[in-house]
Amino acid sequence: MAEIYDIAIIGAGPAGANAALTASEQGCRVVVIDEQSKAGGQVWRVKSAAIAKAPDTPETVAGNALRDALSISHAVHMSDTQVWQIEREADDWAIYVLAAGRSRKIMSRALVLASGAREFVQPVPGWTTPGVVGLAGATALIKQDMTLPGQRTVVSGTGPLVFFVASEVRRHGGTVAAIVTPNHRTEWLRAMPFMAARPDLLWRGSIWIADLMLARVPIFWGYAVSEVSGGDTVTSVEVCKLGPYGAPIGRVSTIHADSVCLGNGLIPAIEAAQLAGVPLEHRPDLGGWVPRADSDGKTSIAGLFVCGDSAGIRGAAAAEIHGKLAGLSACAFVGKGPSVAPVGMQRRYARAARFGMAMTALSIPKPGSDGLTTPQTIMCRCESLTRDDITTEIAAGAQSSNAVKSGLRAGMGPCGGKFCQSAIARLIAKTEGRPETDVPPPTPRPPLRPVPTAALAGDFDYADLPIPKPAPL
Amino acid sequence: MIRLVPDHATLINRTACVEFEFDGRVVTGHAGETVLAALMRAGIRHLRDAPTDGAPRGAFCCIGLCQECLVQIDGARIESCRQIVSGGLTVQSLGRPADG
């Protein structure tokens, strides 16, 4: 018999953990399922058990407070647990999870999705070379294991993350070979009025940039990494200037480095919402395709709520409040707590979201940025498919992400399309001269995470298998 | 030179060292960290070869999604960014000539 909870929450980052805290305070039976060992999500990822002692950062402090609150709450925290399928079962939700190599089912009346985000990386020649990691990926390595991707690193990407990572590389004793950002200083100036709402972050960011300038780290504004060279590991990186629409326009410089962090902003992780049947909408200002939802997390599907970055990239501060709002909405659905969230909470959410969206705006892909992906560049890492392979398929009549996926397997490999589908959808739109809103992501299929067959089969004795008598010859 | 962002490298204390094997090479890690972190600090970035074109690959997303850092441990394929190091662990790469 599967366990039945009032509310199941997927993801224990700032949104999911706050949804869990809020709902359990209202007397609901709550389970929060998360693939990490401790709560905190990517932004407040806990340090590994191998770190006996290290200086605290604002992220550690915020994460520890959240983890402490969750540990004394009544919410059940299933850590190291991956969700691989979500189904409706009568009026309830059936959530199939994988933990310690075994699959099992969890039942709940309401479901809150707080599955966070992953990063978008525009493919460039050589981005599959060992030593190239995602920009957000580097933060995971650094926050959890206090380990750098190399000794001399080119840090490239959009928004504030590129300066955070560069500063963390220096704090951990590494060398930043260069900072490469497609953003121009004018774009940052436009974001300033919104940053005034967060003087703490504005100050922290100013320290990062001042420190990098004092250390004479070259900062390439309005540039992108155009090629990574190396065999078994990165040896050098080429950077090029970008035109007004983000297309590469030459003036190439070469930088020697043994590692590269590459990122073009975050995109909401929407596969769980798609599996649950939530309609999507295209919102580049929120990181791309997002599940359609109200500011209190309600979707058009009864008993299903979304919050945090998986509902649109608005950042950690907004996610905390959004989680509380969605938690209250889920409580109301199961008949507990106030039917309307406090007005002040809505107002604080709107304010935090405005700041977060000003940061997201720095990562909206520019129309020409796909020019960085040359015809021979691998787009689908799992199947080693190049841009040429994909455009040939489009020319042969593949007009949707699903068609490219079934024709070429781009999106059917082990990653499930998580690192190719955004670039491929944009390529289809561009090649066909259609708007990006016309090319939604492919239909997600379970498993959402790779599931070993043994986990599905479970434990059994061969002797117990019913074997029919062989038919007479 | 004036630093506004201090170098904290020497202030990081890690747990006791443990040794494990990667493709027969002895690698030192710390109990409780990921296999990936230990390999990265040992300068090992080439973790497997792509099954299609045989090109070298290494960790990319570092959060258990992209499957690029997949290694073989005890016959099972697992992301090295999600596997915790313990002493005596035998880690093999996938698709490298060494394992045929």
pLDDT tens figures, B12-50: 999 999 999 999 999 999 999 999 999 999 999 999 999
- Record the pTM: 0.94
Residues of chain B found within 8 Å of residue A42, distances taken between Cβ atoms: 63
Residue from the list B7, B32, B40 with its beta carbon closest to the beta carbon of A149: B40
Structural domains in chain B, CATH included, are 15-91 (3.10.20.440)
Residue from the list A35, A129, A145 with its beta carbon closest to the beta carbon of B37: A145
State the ipTM, two decimals. 0.95
Backbone angles phi, psi at A234, to 5 degrees: -65, 135
A213 shares contact with chain B (CB less than 8 Å): no
How far is residue A324's CA from residue A445's CA, in Å, rounded to a whole number?
A: 30
End-to-end CA distance of chain B: 51
Amino acid found at B25: R
User: Which among B17, B35, B39, B62 is the top mutation candidate for probing chain A, defined by the most A β-carbons within 10 Å of its own β-carbon?
Assistant: B62
In this model, does residue A392 exceed pLDDT 70? yes
In this model, does residue B98 exceed pLDDT 50? no
In this model, does residue A450 exceed pLDDT 90? no
Helix, strand, coil: what percent of chain B each, to 5?
A: 15, 30, 55
pLDDT digits (tens, 9 = 90+) for A236-259: 999 999 998 999 997 789 999 999
Residues of chain A found within 8 Å of residue B83, distances taken between Cβ atoms: none
pLDDT digits (tens, 9 = 90+) for A66-120: 999 999 999 999 999 999 999 999 999 999 999 988 999 999 999 999 999 999 9
Q: Give the minimum alpha-carbon distance from A377 to chain B in angstroms, rounded to a whole number.
A: 13
pLDDT classification of A426: cutoffs 50, 70, 90:
very high
- For A:143-162, CB contacts with B below 8 A are 144-150
- The average pLDDT across A372-400 equals 96
B35: DSSP letter: H
Chain mean pLDDT for chain A: 94
Residues of chain B found within 8 Å of residue A418, distances taken between Cβ atoms: 61, 65-66
- The average pLDDT across A348-352 equals 96
- The structure tokens listed for A130 are 């060992």
What pLDDT score does A1 carry? 54
What pLDDT score does B73 carry? 95
Q: Give the minimum alpha-carbon distance from B70 to chain A in angstroms, rounded to a whole number.
A: 10
pLDDT digits (tens, 9 = 90+) for A16-51: 999 999 999 999 999 999 999 999 999 999 999 999
For CA atoms A424, A430, A432, A433, the dihedral sign is: positive
- For B:58-97, CB contacts with A below 8 A are 58-68, 70, 76, 81, 84-85
* CA proximity to A423, closest of A367, A379, A357: A379
Structural domains in chain A, CATH included, are 3-118+267-360 (3.50.50.60), 121-264 (3.50.50.60), 375-438 (1.10.10)
In this model, does residue B96 exceed pLDDT 60? no
- The average pLDDT across B76-89 equals 94
* CA proximity to A144, closest of A168, A117, A180, A110: A168
In this model, does residue A231 exceed pLDDT 50? yes
